[in-house]
């Protein structure tokens, strides 16, 4: 496959960026999007040109490192996939692909397609944990959890914190991320003792990081590679009101 | 304290409550408007008179103005903050799948506001004595307005946009208040659709019926 790539190049957060166009030959349909970019960088290195900076790590959709805005979609057109699992067979030979970094005030561009997503980490640090004494692991059946609740909690716990929800939202809101983090604890008995402090602290931190608010447009749900559901946001709101 | 009272979620909560109150008001207004279809001006005018003078309604009226003000102010504040959350936009238009009407709430809401200003000018200002007209005969005022084709077309456009606003508004309010889940979501969506079609259509058919049959 032959591709024309229009990639956002930006030296750092302070400099102005611009698109640079690259022609890339020899892309195999079975390559992942990240492997395609690695091929591009290899080609650029051989030509003595500067490679494109982009985040990637696990290549199996569980780390949340990769993430770019591909032709108007965070993580690309295919639903439920991270950029590293997006296969090049979804693109046509000769196609032009426009790649941009996540855009949000709390996500400053570090370089090219890499953005600083530590704002999400700060929200997590504010309350996304449970306080337990360390030592021997507790007996698995000491606290009973219903199958339904454990499934729902797990469905929200699969959030990898990639920031696609923020990137997709017209308000750059992190509500889906926060709702997933809140839900995974709110649904389980172990999360209840600190539920009030948690939800207040995480929402306060979310606002402090200047994420937008939720307009219930559903773009986040559509673009989430882990398919976190919108009703988690309703649960987050519920938990917030219940904390008073 | 300020952090929690004025958090993004609290602002949305206040907006949703204010919005739901306005949603309750619309069918009442529609009920009275439907009396315009009678040839006798008396029922409409006495209903309007009742709404304008009954003490309890005066309290509700004050609450209504306050609600409108809160809903608009919060809506504008939230929208500005949301725009500020993405100072640098994308070069390729965001194609993420969204519910169609949710993206234009500030604009559909804004056009409803423009209509509201015109509406106040046409009716409420008469009551306040700022504009000429008989406040005891709003029936004739309404009939006179509906005889102007330009006004009716503007009226229809505004109600179409109001319908777009309402369709997202109702389901969004439930989500914001935390009252939505996987089971109730389709039910709430269906109710939103029925409401968002029935109320604006109810208002819009009045000038049509007057044109066709009166």
Confidence of residue B51 (pLDDT cuts 50, 70, 90): confident
CATH superfamily name and code, A118-242: Alpha-helical ferredoxin (1.10.1060.10)
Torsion angle defined by CA atoms of residues A101, A104, A109 and A110, in that order, rounded to the nearest 10 degrees: -110
Q: Full-prediction pTM beyond 0.90?
A: yes
Confidence of residue B3 (pLDDT cuts 50, 70, 90): low
The alpha-carbon gap from B30 to the nearest alpha carbon of chain A, in Å, equals 28
pLDDT tens string A18-40? 999 999 999 999 999 999 999 99
pLDDT for B99: 84
Q: Which of A65, A77, A53, A82 is nearest to A117 (CA)?
A: A65
Residue range B38-63: mean pLDDT, rounded: 90
pLDDT for A98: 98
Q: Is the ipTM of this complex over 0.90?
A: yes
| Pairwise CB contact (< 8 Å): A170 & B181 | no
Residue range A131-135: mean pLDDT, rounded: 85
Could you say which residues from 4 to 63 on chain A have a Cβ atom under 8 Å away from some Cβ of chain B? 8, 19
Torsion angle defined by CA atoms of residues A92, A160, A117 and A122, in that order, rounded to the nearest 10 degrees: 170
Closest chain B residue to A104, measured at CA: B86
- What is B7-57 written as a DSSP string? SHHHHHHHHHHHHHHHHHHHHHHHHHHGGGGSS-SHHHHHHHHHHHH-HHH
Give the whole-number percent of chain A exceeding pLDDT 70.
100
pLDDT for B2: 58
pLDDT tens string B7-19? 999 999 999 999 9
* Run of H or E including B74: helix B55-84
**CATH architecture of the domain covering A3-110:** Roll (3.10)
Residue range A52-69: mean pLDDT, rounded: 96
Q: Over the Cα atoms of chain B, what is R_g?
A: 19
Torsion angle defined by CA atoms of residues B85, A224, A65 and A94, in that order, rounded to the nearest 10 degrees: -100
| Pairwise CB contact (< 8 Å): B181 & A214 | no
Write down the domain spans for chain A.
3-110, 118-242
DSSP, res A32: B
A98 CB neighbours in chain B (<8 A) are 91-92
Provide residues of B within 8 Å CB-CB of chain A. 3-4, 7-9, 11-13, 78, 81-82, 84-99, 102-103, 105, 168, 171-172, 174-182, 185
Pairwise pLDDT comparison (B113 vs B51), residue with the higher score: B113
Confidence of residue B127 (pLDDT cuts 50, 70, 90): confident
| Pairwise CB contact (< 8 Å): A103 & B9 | no
A20 CB neighbours in chain B (<8 A) are none
Distances (CA, A) of A84 to A75, A90, A167, A192: 8, 13, 17, 35
Closest chain A residue to B171, measured at CA: A216
| Pairwise CB contact (< 8 Å): A204 & B179 | no
Helix H segments across chain A?
Answer: 33-46, 118-127, 147-157, 164-168, 175-186, 195-208, 219-223, 231-242
Distances (CA, A) of B140 to A129, B133, B145, B188: 66, 10, 9, 39
Confidence of residue B135 (pLDDT cuts 50, 70, 90): confident
Q: Are A163 and A113 in contact (CB under 8 A)?
A: no
Confidence of residue B53 (pLDDT cuts 50, 70, 90): confident
The alpha-carbon gap from A73 to the nearest alpha carbon of chain B, in Å, equals 6
């Amino acid at each position: 496959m032959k591709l024309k790539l229009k990639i956002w190049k930006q030296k750092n957060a302070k400099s102005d960026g611009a698109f640079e166009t690259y022609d890339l030959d020899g892309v195999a349909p079975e390559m992942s999007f990240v492997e395609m970019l690695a091929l591009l960088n290899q080609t650029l290195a051989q030509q003595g040109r500067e490679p494109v900076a982009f985040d990637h790590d696990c290549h199996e959709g569980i780390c949340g490192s990769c993430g770019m805005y591909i032709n108007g979609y965070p993580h690309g057109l295919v639903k439920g996939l991270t950029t590293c699992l997006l296969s090049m067979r979804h693109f046509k030979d000769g196609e032009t692909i426009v790649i941009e970094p996540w855009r949000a005030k709390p996500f400053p561009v570090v370089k090219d397609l890499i953005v600083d997503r530590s704002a999400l980490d700060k929200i997590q640090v504010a309350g996304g944990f449970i306080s337990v004494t360390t030592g021997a692991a507790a007996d698995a059946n000491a606290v009973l959890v219903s199958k339904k609740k454990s499934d729902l909690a797990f469905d929200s716990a699969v959030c990898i914190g990639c920031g696609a929800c923020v990137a997709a939202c017209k308000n750059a809101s992190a509500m889906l991320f926060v709702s997933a983090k809140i839900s995974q604890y709110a649904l389980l008995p172990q999360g209840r003792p600190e539920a009030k402090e948690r939800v207040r602290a995480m929402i306060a931190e979310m606002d402090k990081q200047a994420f937008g608010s939720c307009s219930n447009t559903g773009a986040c749900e559509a673009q989430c590679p882990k398919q976190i559901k919108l009703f988690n946001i309703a649960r987050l709101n519920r938990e917030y009101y219940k904390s008073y | 304290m300020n952090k929690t009272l004025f958090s993004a979620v609290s602002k949305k909560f206040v907006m949703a409550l204010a919005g739901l109150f306005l949603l309750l008001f619309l069918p009442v207004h529609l009920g009275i408007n439907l009396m315009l279809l009678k040839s006798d001006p008396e029922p409409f005018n006495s209903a309007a008179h009742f709404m304008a003078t009954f003490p309890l309604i005066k309290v509700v009226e004050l609450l209504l103005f306050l609600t409108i003000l809160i809903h608009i102010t919060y809506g504008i504040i939230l929208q500005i903050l949301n725009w500020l959350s993405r100072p640098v936009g994308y070069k390729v238009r965001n194609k993420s799948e969204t519910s169609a009407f949710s993206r234009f709430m500030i604009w559909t809401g804004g056009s409803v506001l423009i209509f509201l200003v015109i509406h106040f000018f046409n009716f409420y200002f008469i009551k306040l004595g700022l504009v000429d007209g008989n406040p005891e005969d709003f029936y004739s005022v309404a009939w006179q307005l509906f005889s102007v084709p330009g006004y009716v077309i503007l009226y229809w456009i505004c109600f179409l946009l109001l319908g777009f606003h309402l369709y997202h508004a109702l389901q969004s309010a439930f989500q914001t208040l935390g009252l939505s889940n996987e089971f109730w979501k389709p039910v709430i969506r269906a109710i939103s659709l029925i409401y968002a079609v029935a109320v604006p259509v109810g208002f819009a058919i009045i000038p049509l019926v007057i044109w066709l049959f009166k």
